[in-house]
Structure 1
Amino acid sequence: MPVVILAEKPDQGKKFATALAGKTPINKGGKYEFRSEIFGDTIVTWGIGHLVGLSLPDKYEWLPSKEKWDLMNVPFLPKEQELKYEVSKGKSQQFSVVKKCLENADMIIIATDPDREGENIAYNIFKLCKKSIFDKRIKRLWINSLVKSEIVKGFQNLREADETISFFKEANARQIADYLVGMNYTELFTLKLQEKGLAGIISLGRVQTPVNTLVVENDQAIKNFKSEKYKLIECETQDKKPKTIFRNSHEYFNMDELEIDTKKFGLDSASTGIIKSIEVAQKQTEPQKLFSLGGIQEYANTKWKYSSKKTNKVIQDLYDQGYLSYPRTDSELITTNEFEYLKNNLNRYKELLKLEISTPCLQPNKRFVNNDKVLEHYALIPTMEIPDLTKFKAEEKNIYEIIVKRACLMFAEPYKYENTKVVLDVNGYEFQASGNVPISLGWKQVDQNIEDQKEDNEDTMLPKFTEGEKLRIKVNFVEKVTKEPKRLTEGKLVGKTGLMAKLGLGTPATRSSIIDTLISREYIKIENTKVFPTPKGYLLWDLTKNKDLLIGKPENTAQWEKALNKIAKKQYTREEFLNNIYKYLDVTIYELKNSDFESIYLEKSKTQNIHEINGYTVEEKAKVFEISKSETGEKFVIFKNISNKIISMKIVEELLKNGRTKKAITGFKSKNNKKFSAVLVFDDSEYKVKMEFDNTPSSSSGAEKEFEIGEYSVKEKARVFEITEISSQEKFIVYKENSGKIITNAIIRDLLENGKTNKKITGFKSKTGKTYSAFLVFDKVSKRISKEF
């Protein structure tokens, strides 16, 4: 009988089979069969992510109402041993292949992703196989890279399945808890609020609901903030260059206190001060740490405005291609093994990134390398596989390069500087100034990090001071205003220093999906990376807060997460954790069924997606804006995604009010993935949104513009449009002047998209000077423009 290797997804399975067979075997309908040097007869098969999941409640015969949601159905608490699992929709064919392979195996190797969820995926599949599967030898592949050499090395050094099964127990406990909490609270809240007239599903979750609380309470803190004025006292040198500001850190909110100190120290008339002390210290700052998943999410959100979901996809793609190590890691450390291969490939990485910096630190530094502290996965680093960066998408290039740069700078020298602190005494009242003088830039030559720029700004240069020196100064009483709390960004929620990490909400691998869920449930919205609650988010917060439900409290979910982590460490059992979940739900659901669901946010929640704009009623839905004209009731839609650009409500409002956007909108993408900009125009006769590129004749400066229109690439020159049919690369030109009429970009678009202008064009002139109008017609075969009257 063969050795059967269970991968998590098709691409992963193909890489395993290719590495073990020495070439890519033939895919025999969901599996590869071949002989390998390590195992002999070998089969590689795979899931398609989650092949098996928990069944919906309607699969339970004892449920009072299986046809529809009913308050009689809750609390829904099937015992753990009674929980039903089933093959995910649309995946039964692959499951049949996997099941047959596993049941006929001599030995099974779990080769799903090396994390909790990977374990859960494998063991959930096992649950729907014959029980005899657990009598077979089961091994575990645990690797951090999909590079061929690492795959082979991993299969040569398999772990026992018992070594990692505690990760399954944690993940499965989390899965069951999330299922029971979600099913019970969602059905109950939805039915209760439907009684109040609120349509749709009101989703609650063990992690998503407390994260919603964080977003609402941040918004509350901003809304309730009242600025206060206060004063600081500063001293400004009069003779020294560069001019120096000495500050006292005391903030005076009480003006009586300020007046007392001013008189006590004679600050209102002081004109001189004495340098009391000078402290000079040599300091250094080590290179930035390597990235964890949360670290790269936070960096990408701040630097490039990438959502955590987008960042996850990019790094997962780069991992699948073999260019990055395993992405779902919460570690910023590597072991000596990774340090050695990074050192051996350092010059290749530097050459790839064109990094011209000295990297003499070739011994492991505990800031980056610690064998004892790397438990499951090491930090996010490049593999030995060097890519062709010209083939990367912009976001792939950005993320790959910064990860490689961090790895390279680990070998660079620290940033060294001289820090000077000077204390100025004015009649017994002390002020302080400090500044840094760079000695050696080290790693900072190539990485002025985002966080550094925010915290340090530029190093302050100080003039030469001596102790006991008397200075002419001017005392300033500076009025300040307290600043309102900062609005949360997605990065500050899911990042390594974010609130979710600080409060222990979710895991690095699940945090971005939680944000995605809150957006799709319409509890929050994100605008330019900033996170705002919706009325529905406020409603959920209000109801869970007023009913004092633990599910709405971040600190409670954090306790649950701590308990789950103990399961993985074998310090707590899955059964103990789930018993607590069952007890909690049993008590709270009964109480909630008999309580009233009143809230001041209920009415606003009913209309949060409906807007009245210039005689139109606009309802925002998942993929479209559904619009009806108030006078006639005529209905139409504007798609949210136009040429890979997400259209906001602000843009829709502009279109309905003004008939067009004021400026060209950037970020559209053609079928060939080329970016372009366009003005959006709303045609109220056809109820369609169109693109307009230029309504005015081009300047005669000779500057060229390039853009794409459907299947054509257009290069605008001084006197002609040079057009290329993308599929055939056939070129032709259209003159910008036709019978005395200047042809604009908008006309060219009309011709290439529709073959004919929508309306007759005015302003043509005959040879005798008479003006006339005509349609322009484009013949796709001859590539000629003609007129039609």
Structure 2
Amino acid sequence: MILYIAEKPSLGRAIADVLPKPHKKGEGYITAANGDTVSWCIGHLLEQAEPDSYDPAFKSWSFDHLPIVPQQWKMTPKSKTRGQLSVLRKLVKQASQLVNAGDPDREGQLLVDEVIAYLGVKGDKLEQTQRLLVSDLNPQAVKRALGQLRSNREFIPLSTSALARSRADWLYGMNMTRAYTLQGRKVGYQGVLSVGRVQTPLLGLVVRRDEAIEHFVSKPFYEVLANLYTQEQAHFKAKWQPSEACQPYMDEEGRVLSRRLAENVVGRITEQPAKVTDLQAKDKQQGQPLPYNLSSLQIDAAKRFGMSAKTVLDTCQSLYEKHKLITYPRSDSRYLPKEQLALAPSVIGAVLKGAGELTAQCAAPDLKIVSKAWNDAKVDAHHAIVPTEKVANLSALTQAEKQIYLQLARQYLAQFYPVYRYHETQVEVEIAGGHFHTKAKQEIALGWKQLFPKRSDDKTDGEGDEALAQLPPLHKGQMLHSGQGELIEKQTQPPKAFTDATLLSAMTGISRYVTNPEIRKILKETDGLGTEATRAGIIELLFKRGFLARQGKSIVSTPVGRGLINSLPESATTPDMTALWESHLDAISRKEAKYLSFMAPLVESLNGLIMQAGAQLPKALQGVEAPKRSFKKRGYGNRRGTATGAKGKASGAKKTAARAASKTRAKTSA
């Protein structure tokens, strides 16, 4: 008997649907007519054991115990899903062949692998375990996947990477949370101070942005525009480019701060001859925008529809599991395997039949076009999120489901339209020894951009765009007349508060916020804070824990969030350390690094961090009141959400607060 172990019931049912009928449904499994059986996990059935599983003394919080580092790691069944684990235990014993059918990512791999390991599968049965990668729950796609089973051993590095991340989260989160919660009590803070390897640097980004906004002092700066005329009186404008001699009067952004200098330039260029010193005119093109991965979809949906990251993820899950209209949504890839080109006619046909509005004002998609998205080298366990071959009934979808489906479908259709072509002209002009610049852009052919019509309430068309401008016919060496110069006074603006879109963008492009130039260089390719599966959950977690709050569309830090960040060592609040971790974890998944090379330095650094925590009090939390509902859903504190007890016991929580602080289910916290 072949036993397929899926990550969740919906995937299990999709696999069973294509197995021989009639089916026999049992409690937690489905058996096909040929005897093969499908069962499932319900998310993670196992979790890292509590500290007191290693030593009963650890149930009481004491600084003397820290850091707690298990010598032999233990997993324990989750209380709510013990029954399903028992079902799998029985079926695994009966099976002659196992198939890991976890979701196609590193957490999906580990989720099933850890169950197989916990149930003691060894020898040939373990060696012969296969891997089923399902990214589309429609029957025809599942059938194709069943015909492409691979050895589960190929995915050991992926599982090892997820295991390292899980243990790292436990070690770092549990030890740092205990340390700072205990120190916080010494200054009167009565809440639990949750610290995580991803959540805390993310909170640090928001806190530093908020503080920069508060401390910002606006200053005036000046620009100069030349009004230029040809002999035929055709008019255009060009902007002054300050020379190196102006550097003492400029800020680090290259803005001129001296009004007197700008006024002098205006006087010098008014009613003067001007000369075109350089003219570059080129036909350019812009390729099709890549299909979406989860983060890029979340960013665009936040900009266009004001959706939170969690809303986008939940909507995608519904479109994937309930409606079967899109492929696996937690993907971090924006590329597609070339073999899927064979499915393009049926996918496009389904999209046009269900959502013909997308191409109502456009030419038909051209199946002969192969965009750069089709790249086998950039696809591994999963590919970009795209529509399936199922026709959508838009009237049966919620507004959010319809918006997300159309967004994904439009991006997929764009792969079958020509490149966007335009003509760009850049002009350099010299006036009285000063240099001026302007450029213009004229569209030649819209190509894929015809799918992205401009809307008054839209701030993005999928790829961004430059304002179009017009220039008269010009040539190098042409003489012009500079009329009255213009002085433009502007004010420097404070940084903008984070929004859902910009915070997600910061997480995916974290190297921009890394302070160490060497680390930034390392992270250019393996960029990212958290994973596609965890980012939405991490942001929501910071709201639930009272560290972040919303002010309209802005995401801001609370007094507790600020107090925590200003009490921690800088290394715990900046993305440098955790971004390096993500880089190392990614290297493990690609067989370029080993588990021990990641864990050993982590334990060493943890010792130093705990010593540092014990050496100073978190004075930034003096007088700060704990959030009233902090951690209630995760076992933190009593009904009022505060931590009590003078000798290091978690406030009324029989299961220690560390359980919640260091929950390692990959898709909910970090």
Instruction: Report the TM range for the smaller structure's normalisation.
Output: 0.7 to 0.9
- Taking the aligned partners of 2:207 and 2:227, their CA distance within structure 1 comes to 43
Superposition map of 1:374-453 within 5 A: 374-448=379-453, 450-451=459-460
SS at match of 1:19: coil
Deviation at 1:481, TM superposition (A): 2.0
Aligned AA (2:583): K
Aligned AA (1:76): I
- Taking the aligned partners of 2:2 and 2:464, their CA distance within structure 1 comes to 56
The one of 65, 70, 77 aligned to 2:69: 77
Deviation at 1:202, TM superposition (A): 0.9
The one of 544, 547, 562 aligned to 1:520: 544
Higher strand proportion (structure 1 or 2): 1
- Taking the aligned partners of 1:558 and 1:144, their CA distance within structure 2 comes to 28
1:263–1:485 Cα change, 3 Å? closer
Equivalent pair of 2:274/2:430 in contact (CA under 8 Å): yes
- Taking the aligned partners of 1:275 and 1:138, their CA distance within structure 2 comes to 71
Superposition map of 1:107-506 within 5 A: 107-132=97-122, 135-136=125-126, 137-237=128-228, 243-250=235-242, 253=249, 267=268, 269-320=270-321, 321-354=323-356, 355-356=359-360, 357-359=362-364, 361-363=366-368, 365-448=370-453, 450-451=459-460, 456-465=465-474, 468-471=478-481, 473-495=483-505, 498-500=508-510, 504-506=528-530
SS at match of 1:437: strand
Equivalent pair of 1:206/1:551 in contact (CA under 8 Å): yes
SS at match of 1:273: strand
Match of 2:664 in 1: none
- Taking the aligned partners of 2:257 and 2:28, their CA distance within structure 1 comes to 80
Equivalent pair of 2:63/2:182 in contact (CA under 8 Å): yes
Aligned AA (2:13): K
Deviation at 1:523, TM superposition (A): 1.3
1:621–1:177 Cα change, 3 Å? closer
SS at match of 1:154: helix
**Range that drifts further, 152-161 or 501-510:** 501-510
**2:530 aligned with 1:540, yes or no?**
no
- Taking the aligned partners of 2:490 and 2:556, their CA distance within structure 1 comes to 28
Deviation at 1:544, TM superposition (A): 1.4
Match of 1:600 in 2: 620
1:576–1:274 Cα change, 3 Å? closer
How many equivalent pairs are there? 600
Match of 2:3 in 1: 4
Equivalent pair of 2:344/2:367 in contact (CA under 8 Å): no
The one of 574, 582, 600 aligned to 1:561: 582
Deviation at 1:134, TM superposition (A): 6.7
1:110–1:423 Cα change, 3 Å? same
- Taking the aligned partners of 1:330 and 1:126, their CA distance within structure 2 comes to 26
1:90–1:277 Cα change, 3 Å? closer
**Range that drifts further, 147-156 or 279-288:** 279-288
RMSD, matched Cα: 2.9
1:411–1:268 Cα change, 3 Å? closer
Stretches of structure 1 that go unaligned for 5 or more consecutive residues are 610-618, 625-635, 637-789
Aligned AA (2:541): T
- Taking the aligned partners of 1:456 and 1:157, their CA distance within structure 2 comes to 42
The one of 84, 105, 120 aligned to 1:94: 84
1:134–1:562 Cα change, 3 Å? farther
- Taking the aligned partners of 1:551 and 1:258, their CA distance within structure 2 comes to 43
SS at match of 1:143: coil
- Taking the aligned partners of 1:465 and 1:486, their CA distance within structure 2 comes to 39
- Taking the aligned partners of 2:595 and 2:53, their CA distance within structure 1 comes to 24
- Taking the aligned partners of 1:148 and 1:342, their CA distance within structure 2 comes to 17
C-alpha distance after superposition, 1:515-569 (max 9, x if no partner): 1111111111233342211111111211113xx5x33331111111122112112
C-alpha distance after superposition, 1:588-623 (max 9, x if no partner): 324533x231323432x326x5xxxxxxxxx67789
- Taking the aligned partners of 2:125 and 2:349, their CA distance within structure 1 comes to 50
Aligned AA (1:437): Q
Deviation at 1:69, TM superposition (A): 2.6
SS at match of 2:129: strand
Aligned AA (1:531): I
Stretches of structure 2 that go unaligned for 5 or more consecutive residues are 251-255, 513-526, 634-639, 641-670
Match of 2:656 in 1: none
**Range that drifts further, 332-341 or 237-246:** 237-246
Aligned AA (2:169): D
- Taking the aligned partners of 1:623 and 1:73, their CA distance within structure 2 comes to 26
C-alpha distance after superposition, 1:55-106 (max 9, x if no partner): 222333x34253x433343221111xx2221111211111111111012210
- Taking the aligned partners of 2:257 and 2:12, their CA distance within structure 1 comes to 75
- Taking the aligned partners of 2:272 and 2:21, their CA distance within structure 1 comes to 83
1:457–1:419 Cα change, 3 Å? closer
- Taking the aligned partners of 1:453 and 1:482, their CA distance within structure 2 comes to 28
Deviation at 1:260, TM superposition (A): 6.7
Match of 2:663 in 1: none
Superposition map of 1:678-689 within 5 A: none
- Taking the aligned partners of 1:448 and 1:8, their CA distance within structure 2 comes to 40
Equivalent pair of 1:293/1:508 in contact (CA under 8 Å): yes
1:73–1:470 Cα change, 3 Å? closer
SS at match of 1:225: coil
The one of 46, 49, 58 aligned to 2:52: 58
- Taking the aligned partners of 1:175 and 1:335, their CA distance within structure 2 comes to 30
1:54–1:472 Cα change, 3 Å? closer
1:453–1:171 Cα change, 3 Å? closer
Aligned AA (2:560): K
Structure-2-length-normalised TM-score:
0.83
Match of 2:517 in 1: none
C-alpha distance after superposition, 1:739-765 (max 9, x if no partner): xxxxxxxxxxxxxxxxxxxxxxxxxxx
- Taking the aligned partners of 1:122 and 1:436, their CA distance within structure 2 comes to 54
- Taking the aligned partners of 2:502 and 2:261, their CA distance within structure 1 comes to 42
- Taking the aligned partners of 2:557 and 2:137, their CA distance within structure 1 comes to 40
1:591–1:244 Cα change, 3 Å? closer
- Taking the aligned partners of 2:20 and 2:46, their CA distance within structure 1 comes to 29
SS at match of 1:588: helix
Equivalent pair of 1:53/1:85 in contact (CA under 8 Å): yes
- Taking the aligned partners of 1:84 and 1:207, their CA distance within structure 2 comes to 23
- Taking the aligned partners of 1:16 and 1:213, their CA distance within structure 2 comes to 43
Deviation at 1:314, TM superposition (A): 0.9
- Larger radius of gyration, structure 1 or 2? 1
1:270–1:257 Cα change, 3 Å? farther
Equivalent pair of 2:273/2:479 in contact (CA under 8 Å): no
Equivalent pair of 2:331/2:382 in contact (CA under 8 Å): yes
1:161–1:620 Cα change, 3 Å? closer
